[in-house]
Homo-oligomer: A and B are copies of this chain.
Amino acid sequence: MRIGLSEKCIIFVNDSQCQKQKEMTNISIAIAEDQPLALKSILKKLSNTAGLDVSFTAANGLELLEKFEKQQTNIVLMDIEMPVMEGITATRQLKEKYPDVKVLMLTTFDDDDKIFNAILSGAAGYLLKDESADMIKKAIADIYEGGAAMSPGIALKALNYIKSTPQPKAETTSPEPSLLSARETEILTALKEGLAYKQIADKLYISEGTVRKHIENIYRKLQVNNKVSAVNMAKANKWL
């Protein structure tokens, strides 16, 4: 695959196609990665790429902070799992002192907690290490230009997080009459109590089948597929 955004081509093309942009300075990169093999793999992916300069590497977060003092770079590729000082702490401290540096987290894990801590620490991107060389280069280009980059699976988690977050809609003029019908809200209220279908049926004097159908409709409307998620969604939207 070839990534072909013309204005970015100096980053990806190492030959003749972009002569007129020769004067652009390279993007400088620092890498923090404790595992020699993984480091080698990253370096290989970035090698032979015009427009990118790997300034130095470090084997842990502390070492990176020290070296960065002496030689600052545009971008830092940061592993999360490192001895002495792991990547999230290092990122937080780095961004505190150098707010403009862009940090791209590069890790083998897509654990939710790590992702969100990385985001909170100020990382501009979060990629899985097994991304292709082109994807990593594009991510570097994107965050250098002020954007952000995420692996598809990470992006999905981010979207789901936003969806599940109670919206701080200050100007929410619409009371949003809760897609749900009155009966469905009753059912959901019962679900919230931890009741089973049969118990809800007895409580509302309807059949279990009807309870089931109502819950199907609730799931469809709320885009969920289990009780706990339905209750969460309803609570997030203040429908309960």
Contact = CB atoms under 8 A, between A and B. Distances in A.
Contacts of A97: 220
Given A111-B203, A147-B151, A155-B149, A3 B220 contact: no
A59 B164 CA distance: 31
Contact of A159 (B2, B148, B232): B148
Contacts of A146: 152-153, 156
Contacts of A194: 224, 226, 228-229, 232
Interface string A135-168: 1001000110111111111011011011101111
A15 to B, nearest CB: 13
A213 to B, nearest CB: 16
A96 interface: yes
Interface stretch (A32-40, A62-70, A71-79, A116-124): A116-124
A134 B4 contact: yes
A142 B152 contact: yes
Nearest to A97: B220
A163 B133 CA distance: 28
Given A134-B2, A134-B3, A145 B152 contact: yes
A168 B155 CA distance: 19
A214 to B, nearest CB: 16
A129 interface: no
B148 A158 contact: yes
Contact of A112 (B3, B122, B203): B203
A26 interface: no
Given A3-B134, A194-B232, 11 more contacts: A112-B203, A124-B159, A142-B152, A147-B153, A148-B155, A148-B159, A155-B155, A162-B162, A165-B165, A191-B228, A193-B229
Interface of A: 1-5, 12-13, 95-97, 99, 111-112, 116, 119-120, 122, 124-125, 132-135, 138, 142-143, 145-153, 155-156, 158-159, 161-163, 165-168, 191-194, 196, 203, 220-221, 223-224, 226-229, 231-232
Can you list the 9 inter-chain pairs with the closest CB atoms, starting with the nearest?
A147-B152, A194-B229, A142-B152, A148-B155, A148-B156, A194-B228, A1-B12, A147-B153, A5-B132
